């Protein structure tokens, strides 16, 4: 197995999703606490390894389906550059290493890391073929990252933060399903059989509902009594324009540019979307820490 192919299978472009682990760091006002930052960085690294183990398993199980996808057919396992035995060994090694490191970091963090791995394996082997549940399981991976980030620095998490994370993750997961269905057309079910259970009309309705819920939940979070007491300010509402712009920009990219298949790549490639995220983070940090 070549190192380059192994790294490609680890999906470096998707490592950005592990930044959800840092959400607790920011919203618990620990952003400038060095020990907390170091523990969060370690947790992010462990989730990169955990996700990497899942990618090897997923690509191994989806070998035939990926070969009919115009982009995924180039993945090392689908293209035959990594053998099945090598993929199994890599997945087992990464899983074992990540769980050992997670236990060293924190027993509670280990529990969430183990739950994440079990959930991902269940998804890959069976649950990705259960309509609607497949989307919720993808979204739950993001929520577990946020929970893990809170546990590793021992801070309580706001239910609002978890709700907003779940809704945003659902928005991204449904958008990805829509992109796959639209891109692959008649070959969609050959690549992902569950796509037979969806239609563009259904997914569009789901996107509309989740989009509205995400915006409303975030707005309510910024002005809730809990949030105002915690941060000592009601000015977090001023971050809402960046959230709205980011969501509207993403919808534009989905419906007019035919994007959405890889949210991580899209965020890194689209400068207006990246600018909205950076400005939201900067504004939120300024309000939370300096108001």
Mean local confidence (pLDDT), 237-249 = 95
Domain co-membership, 180 together with 124: no
Domain co-membership, 5 together with 127: yes
Domain co-membership, 249 together with 216: yes
Q: What is the mean pLDDT of the chain?
A: 88
**Last residue of a domain, which of 156, 174, 200?**
156
HEC assignment per residue over 250-261 = HHHHHHCCCCCC
Residue with the larger pLDDT of the pair 124 and 243: 243
- Asked if residue 143 has pLDDT above 80, the reply is yes
**Last residue of a domain, which of 107, 135, 156?**
156
Domain co-membership, 59 together with 172: no
- CATH number, position 110: 1.10.357.140
Q: For residues 135 and 240, what is the distance between their CA atoms, to the nearest angstrom?
A: 26
Domain co-membership, 186 together with 80: no
- Asked if residue 189 has pLDDT above 60, the reply is no
Domain co-membership, 23 together with 146: yes
Using CB atoms within 10 Å of the CB of residue 210, give its burial: 0 to 12 exposed, 13 to 18 middle, 19+ buried. Answer: buried
Domain co-membership, 95 together with 174: no
Mean local confidence (pLDDT), 39-67 = 86
> What pLDDT sits at residue 190?
63
Domain co-membership, 146 together with 71: yes
Mean local confidence (pLDDT), 147-175 = 92
> What pLDDT sits at residue 186?
60
| Cβ proximity of 264 and 247 under 8 Å | no
62-107 pLDDT, tens digit per residue, is 776 667 666 777 777 877 777 788 888 888 999 999 999 999 999 9
246-273 pLDDT, tens digit per residue, is 999 999 999 988 777 678 778 888 999 9
Using CB atoms within 10 Å of the CB of residue 118, give its burial: 0 to 12 exposed, 13 to 18 middle, 19+ buried. Answer: exposed
Q: For residues 6 and 91, what is the distance between their CA atoms, to the nearest angstrom?
A: 11
Sequence-separated (6 or more) residues with CB below 8 Å from residue 282: none
193-206 pLDDT, tens digit per residue, is 788 888 899 999 99
Domain co-membership, 4 together with 138: yes
Which structural domain range is residue 147 located in? 1-156
Domain co-membership, 18 together with 142: yes
Q: For the whole prediction, is pTM greater than 0.75?
A: yes
Domain co-membership, 31 together with 146: yes
Q: In degrees rounded to 5, what are phi and psi of residue 31?
A: -60, -30
**Which residue in this structure is represented by tokens 């592990």?**
18
Show the CA angle centred on residue 172, arms to residues 166 and 175, nearest 5°.
135
- Asked if residue 155 has pLDDT above 70, the reply is yes
Q: Rg for the chain (alpha carbons), in Å? A: 19
**Which residue in this structure is represented by tokens 């207006």?**
272
Number of structural domains found in the chain: 2
Domain co-membership, 110 together with 173: no
**Last residue of a domain, which of 156, 180, 215?**
156
13-44 pLDDT, tens digit per residue, is 788 889 999 999 988 888 888 999 999 999 99
Sequence-separated (6 or more) residues with CB below 8 Å from residue 68: 184, 187, 190, 191
């Amino acid at each position: 197995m070549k190192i380059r192919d192994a790294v490609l299978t680890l999906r470096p472009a998707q490592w950005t999703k592990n930044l959800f682990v840092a959400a607790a760091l920011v919203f618990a006002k620990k952003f400038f606490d060095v020990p907390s930052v170091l523990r969060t960085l370690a947790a992010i690294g462990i989730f990169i390894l955990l996700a990497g183990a899942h990618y090897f398993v997923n690509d191994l199980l989806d070998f035939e389906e990926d070969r009919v996808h115009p982009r995924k057919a180039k993945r090392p396992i689908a293209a035959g550059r990594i053998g099945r035995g090598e993929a199994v060994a890599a997945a087992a090694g990464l899983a074992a290493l990540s769980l050992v490191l997670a236990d060293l970091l924190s027993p509670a963090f280990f529990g969430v890391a183990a739950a994440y791995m079990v959930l991902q394996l269940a998804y890959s082997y069976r649950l990705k073929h259960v309509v609607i549940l497949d989307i919720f399981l993808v979204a739950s991976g993001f929520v577990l990252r946020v929970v893990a980030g809170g546990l590793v620095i021992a801070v309580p998490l706001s239910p609002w933060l978890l709700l907003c994370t779940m809704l945003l993750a659902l928005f991204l997961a449904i958008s990805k399903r829509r992109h796959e269905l639209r891109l692959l057309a008649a070959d969609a079910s050959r690549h992902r059989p569950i796509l037979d259970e969806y239609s563009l009309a259904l997914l569009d309705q789901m996107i509309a509902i989740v989009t509205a819920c995400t915006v409303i939940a975030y707005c309510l979070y910024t002005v809730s009594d809990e949030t105002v007491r915690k941060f000592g300010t009601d000015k977090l509402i001023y971050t809402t324009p960046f959230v709205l712009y980011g969501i509207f920009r993403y919808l534009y990219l989905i419906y007019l540019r035919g994007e959405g298949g890889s949210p991580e790549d899209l965020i890194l490639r689209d400068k207006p979307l990246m600018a909205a995220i950076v400005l939201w983070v900067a504004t939120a940090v300024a309000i939370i820490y300096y108001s």
